[in-house]
Chains A and B, each alone.
Chain A
């Protein structure tokens, strides 16, 4: 990710009497939110399909034999099942769309930065999206392990000890709530911290 570079000096912006940099950013952000949300809505069914298949492959890297199956249930959900013996509590449904709704905020934040050349804005957005896709896969891996470790009653208790249950439970909680919600701000901060400090 490249750091933000000014297309024009901050002093010139202030001297021009226009709105301040944060105000320009806020205005741009609010203007970018609707089109980004629309694109996200249109892409969501296909992205959910990709995430479901990619997460299944990732989960299977962590198990022998490969028994986990992730299948799309509808446009917004996947279901976790296992081949072989029936496990009480499965299939278990996860709302895939909730894993990546922060993409709307991320996209709008990265596109809204004023006084930064478009080429650089798009490059930074590309890096941020790439990092976020890896985060989504990790989040889904923790979701599946969380279900196995804590949500299947006696089956979970027989296979996961206290440490395993706490590890997957806390990991899923941290990834799926605070880290997910904070990721757009964290990535934006990394890309544009210098820009923000100069203004």
Chain B
């Protein structure tokens, strides 16, 4: 007599990983879609460039406060010791988009997502301001350290900030709804 397989509510096969697959697909779609949109010339010229110029302005003010003799032209900051052009990759947009993608991919209420986005953008831009100021000072006083600091150290720090913000957001703001749904 054939045996019948035991019935179970636990999903089998790939369905066990449905939430993880959904997270990855939504995350990558939002990430690549947003960056493709931002790479269009019209978006870059009318949104990203003015935004980057505002970051350059804030960084210039901060460096002036630290005693640097800064002149700013668009996205270029210049002092008698060093000059830097703030470009894509240094304006914090990449960390903000990664944060946005992670928030949209994680199951949560829209209100929680909105709170996360507002707080996250503020904190990421603060960390990025710190990055630009620190990099300028590194270029001015420790020029041999500039390249490694620019690409390796501060990129990691800004992305780390976005990762930690997302973890705290997911734990503090997003999970109550998940627990309620699970219950």
- Count, chain B residues at interface, CB 8 A: 40
**A interface, over-half SS:** helix
For this complex, 25 residue pairs linking A to B, each with C-beta atoms less than 8 Å apart, are A3-B17, A20-B171, A26-B164, A29-B160, A97-B152, A101-B152, A105-B160, A170-B39, A173-B35, A177-B88, A182-B27, A182-B31, A182-B98, A184-B163, A186-B27, A189-B27, A189-B105, A189-B106, A190-B20, A191-B20, A194-B20, A196-B167, A196-B170, A196-B175, A197-B175
Taking the closest CB of chain B, its distance from the CB of A173, in whole angstroms, is: 6
A193 touches B164 (CB 8 A): no
Docked CA distance A174–B160 (Å): 19
Residues of B within 8 A of A170 (CB): 36, 39
- Quote the shortest CB–CB distance from A181 to chain B (angstroms): 5
A102 sits at the interface (CB 8 A): yes
A98 within 8 A of B: yes
- Chain A residues close to B by CB (< 8 Å): 3, 20-22, 25-26, 29, 95, 97-98, 101-102, 104-105, 109, 170, 173-174, 177-179, 181-182, 184-186, 188-191, 193-194, 196-197, 199
Interface string of B93-111 (1 = CB under 8 A from A): 0110110011001110000
Main secondary structure of the interface of B (DSSP, over half): helix
A22 touches B167 (CB 8 A): yes
Determine if B36 and A174 form an interchain contact, defined as CB atoms under 8 angstroms apart.
yes
Task: Please name 20 further chain A to chain B contacts, defined as beta carbons within 8 Å, in addition to the given A29-B164, A184-B159, A196-B175, sorted by A numbering.
Answer: A3-B17, A3-B20, A21-B171, A102-B156, A102-B159, A104-B152, A173-B39, A174-B32, A178-B97, A181-B94, A185-B98, A185-B163, A186-B28, A189-B20, A189-B24, A190-B20, A190-B24, A191-B20, A194-B20, A196-B171
Chain A residues lying within 8 Å of B32, measured Cβ to Cβ, are 174, 178-179
How far, in Å, is A110 (CB) from chain B's closest CB? 12
- Which chain B residue has the least Cβ–Cβ distance from A176? B89
Instruction: State whether A101 and B27 are in contact (beta carbons under 8 Å apart), knowing that A179-B32, A196-B171, A197-B178 are contacts in the complex.
Output: no
Q: How far is the CA of A29 from the CA of B89 in the complex (A)?
A: 24
Q: How far is the CB of B168 from chain A (nearest CB, A)?
A: 5
The listed residue with most B CB atoms (<10 A of its CB), out of A22, A101, A193, is A193
Interface residue ranges, B against A (CB under 8 Å) = 17, 19-20, 23-24, 27-28, 31-32, 35-36, 39, 88-89, 94-95, 97-98, 101-102, 105-107, 151-152, 155-156, 159-160, 162-164, 166-168, 170-172, 175, 178
Bound: A59/B168 CA distance, A: 41
Closest to B151 in A: A98
Question: Closest CB-CB distance, A132 to chain B, in whole Å?
Answer: 14
The chain A residue sitting closest to B27, CB to CB, is: A186
Minimal beta-carbon separation of B141 from chain A (angstroms): 23
| Closest A residue to B97 using CB positions | A178
Q: Does B35 lie within 8 Å of A178, measured CB to CB?
A: yes
CA distance A188 to B27 in the complex (A): 12
Q: Enumerate chain B residues within 8 angstroms of A3, measured Cβ to Cβ.
A: 17, 20
Contacts of B167 in A (CB 8 A): 22, 25-26, 196
B102 and A105 form a contact (CB under 8 A): no
**Which residues of chain B are near A194, meaning CB under 8 Å?**
19-20
- Closest beta carbon of chain B to A172's beta carbon, Å: 11
Residues of B within 8 A of A104 (CB): 152, 156
Distance, CA A104 to CA B35, complexed state (A): 24
Which of chain B's residues have a CB closer than 8 A to the CB of A21? 171
Chain A residues near B159 (CB, 8 Å)? Answer: 102, 105, 181-182, 184-185
CA distance A197 to B178 in the complex (A): 7
Contact present for B89 and A177 (CB under 8 Å): yes
